[in-house]
Amino acid sequence: MPSFSELAGEQKVFRDKGVLSPHFVPSQLLYRENEIRKVMQAVAPALHNSKARNLFVYGKTGTGKTCVAKHVLQKLDEEKNLRARAVYLNCRIYDSRYKVLQKVISSFSPGSAKTGYSFALLYERFLDWIEGLGDDGADGKHVILVLDEIDVVKDLDNLIYTLTRANDDLKRGSVSVLGISNKVNFKQRLDTRSKSSLCEEEMVFQPYDADQLKGILTQRVSTAFNDGVVLPSAVNLAAAIAAGDNGDARYALALLLRAGEVAEKKKVEKVSEKEVEEARKAADEDKAAEIVSSLPEHQKLVLYALAVVSEDVHYKKLVEEEGEKYYFSGEVYERYRAMAKKMGQEPRTSRWYREYLHELETLGLINSVESGKGVRGHATLLRLSYEAPKVKHILEKALLAE
Ligand SMILES: Nc1ncnc2c1ncn2[C@@H]1O[C@H](COP(=O)(O)OP(=O)(O)OP(=O)(O)O)[C@@H](O)[C@H]1O
Ligand SMILES: [Mg+2]
C-alpha cells in the first residue's frame, strides 16, 4: 500500500494533467490566426442575417482543424445571436444522414427527435425549427453544421443533397456546412454535384514545423507541469520527433504526457530527453500493437512464427547482419505451416507467404534483407521490428480471441 506522502510525491511532476488531454482546447491557439480568420469569415454572414458560406477544411491529423473549428464556435456563441446557430458533430458518432439530422434537431430542442421517426418527419421538423415555428422567438435561423471527420458519413451524397435542398425549401433562414477531414482522397467518392456544393471554398491546414510544435508544447508545459520539471531539451526533442511524424501536435502533446508519466513511475523529478525517448518507444509499441491486432489471421500466424523462431534460444539458423539477428525466411515458413496445421487451418502457399511478408514489411512490423553471397545462394532473411516477447504476447492475445 502506498503512503500518503508517496501519493503526494506523485504530484510533483504534474500540476494539471488534463491540459495535455487531446480534448482540451487551449484559450489561445498559436500559429493559426489566418485559419481562424478564414473560418470566421465563412461563418460571419450568419450574424448579419444571411447564409454562411460552405467551407471545406482539409489537413493531416493533428494540425489543429478540430480545435480551430471549436474555437470559432465558441466565439460565435459569445455573440449571443439567436439567429446564428452552429452545431458541432463528430461524424464518427453521427455517421449517416439520419443520425446527423436527428442530432441537430435534438440539440436544438431536446426530446423532439425520438428514434423511429421517419426521415421525412425529421426533415420537416428541421425546416420548421429553422423557419422559426418553435418558441425561441428566432425565426429564420442561419444554421451552420460543423461536420468533423465528414469522410466517415456513409451516405454523404444524400446528406449534402438534403442540406442543399433544404435551402431551396426554406422560406426563411438557411443551412451551411463546415466540413472537416484529414483524408485527402475522400472527395473523389462524391458526386460532382455534392462535391461542388461542399467544397465551394476550401482551406488546407499545413503541418506544424518543429519550431511551431515547440511553441505549442511550451504553452502547455507551464500549466500542465510544475515549475522546472520539464527540461527545455525534452520539449525540443518531443517537438522534433512530432515534426518528423507529419507535424502532428496531438502526437507531440501525447509524448510529453507520457514522458511525464514515465518520470512519475521512475520517481525522478525531471522530464528529460531520456523520458521523451522512452515515451516515444512506448507510443510506437502501442501503434504496432494496434496494427498487429487488426492483421488478417494468416498474417498474424506468419508474424507469430517469426516471433517464436526469434525467441528460441536453441535456434541455430540465424545470421548476423550489421549487428542484427536475422532468420531464414524458409525456416519461418516451415514454422508457419506447422502452426497453421496445428490450428486446423490449411497453410497458404509460399507465393501467398511472400505476399504476406511484403505486407508485414510495408506495415513496419518486420525487416527483410536478401542474404549476401555464401549464404545458400540468395536466401531471404527476416527479423522482427519490435521485441519478440512483446510481439508474441500481443499475438497470443489476438489469436486466442479469434
Ligand atoms: N495551434 C495550436 N495551438 C495550441 N494547441 C494546438 C494547436 N493546434 C493543435 N493543437 C492541439 O493539438 C491537438 C490536436 O489538434 P486537433 O484535434 O485540432 O487536430 P485535427 O487537425 O483535428 O486532427 P485530426 O485530423 O486527427 O482530427 C489538440 O490537443 C489541440 O489542442
Ligand atoms: Mg480533428
- Alpha helix stretches (DSSP H) within 179-272: 192-198, 210-224, 232-244, 249-266
Q: How far is residue 314's CA from residue 307's CA, in Å, rounded to a whole number? A: 14
Cell numbers representing residue 376 in the block? 545458400
Q: Name which residue sits closest to atom 26 of ligand 1, judged by CA.
A: 61
Ligand 1 pocket member 207 (CB < 6 A): no
In the prediction, which pLDDT does 19 show? 94
Considering every ligand atom, which ligand is closest to the CA of 63?
A: 1
Ligand 1 pocket member 109 (CB < 6 A): no
In the prediction, which pLDDT does 132 show? 83
Return the CA Rg of the chain. 27
Ligand 1 pocket member 32 (CB < 6 A): yes
- Classify 178 as helix, strand or coil: strand
Q: What is the CA(96)–ligand 1 centre distance, in A? A: 25
Q: What is the CA(43)–ligand 1 centre distance, in A? A: 20
pLDDT tens digits for range 123-134: 999 999 899 855
Return the C-alpha torsion angle 121, 124, 130, 132, nearest 10.
Answer: -100
Q: Name which residue sits closest to atom 9 of ligand 1, judged by CA.
A: 64
Question: Cα–Cα distances in Å, from 366 out to 32, 197, 339, 359?
Answer: 39, 44, 19, 9
Ligand 1 pocket member 182 (CB < 6 A): yes
In the prediction, which pLDDT does 317 show? 65
Ligand 1 pocket member 30 (CB < 6 A): yes
Helix (H), strand (E) at residue 104: helix 97-108
Q: What is the CA(28)–ligand 2 centre distance, in A? A: 17
Q: How many CB atoms lie within 10 A of CB 345?
A: 13
Atom index in ligand 1 nearest the CA of residue 60 equals: 25
Ligand 1 pocket member 19 (CB < 6 A): no
Instruction: Work out whether the CA dihedral 93, 99, 101, 105 comes out positive or negative.
Output: negative
Q: What is the CA(193)–ligand 2 centre distance, in A? A: 25
Those residues with Cβ within 8 angstroms of residue 246's Cβ, 6 or more apart along the chain or in another chain: 60, 61, 62, 207
Q: Name which residue sits closest to atom 31 of ligand 1, judged by CA.
A: 25
Ligand 1 pocket member 186 (CB < 6 A): no
Considering every ligand atom, which ligand is closest to the CA of 182?
A: 1
Q: How far is residue 227's CA from residue 123's CA, in Å, rounded to a whole number? A: 54
Cell numbers representing residue 390 in the block? 512483446
Cell numbers representing residue 89 in the block? 458533430
Q: What is the CA(253)–ligand 1 centre distance, in A? A: 9
Q: What is the CA(250)–ligand 1 centre distance, in A? A: 6
Q: What is the CA(61)–ligand 2 centre distance, in A? A: 7
Ligand 1 pocket member 71 (CB < 6 A): no
- Domains of the chain (ranges plus CATH)? 33-205 (3.40.50.300), 208-284 (1.10.8.60), 295-401 (1.10.10.10)
Instruction: Identify any residues that bridge with 369 across adjacent strands, giving them in sequence order.
Output: 381
Residue ranges in the chain whose pLDDT is less than 70: 1-11, 112-113, 133-137, 315-318, 321, 372-377, 402
Helix (H), strand (E) at residue 357: helix 350-362
Place of cell 522512452: 278
In the prediction, which pLDDT does 67 show? 95
Q: How far is residue 21's CA from residue 254's CA, in Å, rounded to a whole number? A: 8
In the prediction, which pLDDT does 157 show? 95
In the prediction, which pLDDT does 352 show? 96
Query: What pTM does this model have?
Result: 0.82
CB distance 239 to 95 below 8 Å: no
Q: Name which residue sits closest to atom 24 of ligand 1, judged by CA.
A: 61
- Classify 328 as helix, strand or coil: strand
Return the C-alpha torsion angle 231, 252, 66, 94, nearest 10.
Answer: -130
In the prediction, which pLDDT does 9 show? 54
Cell numbers representing residue 188 in the block? 473523389
In the prediction, which pLDDT does 53 show? 96
Q: What is the CA(178)–ligand 2 centre distance, in A? A: 13
Those residues with Cβ within 8 angstroms of residue 111's Cβ, 6 or more apart along the chain or in another chain: none
- Pairing, β 366-370 against β 380-384: antiparallel
- Tell which one of 66, 205, 251 to mutate to probe ligand 1, the residue whose CB is within 8 A of the most ligand atoms: 66
Ligand 1 pocket member 29 (CB < 6 A): yes
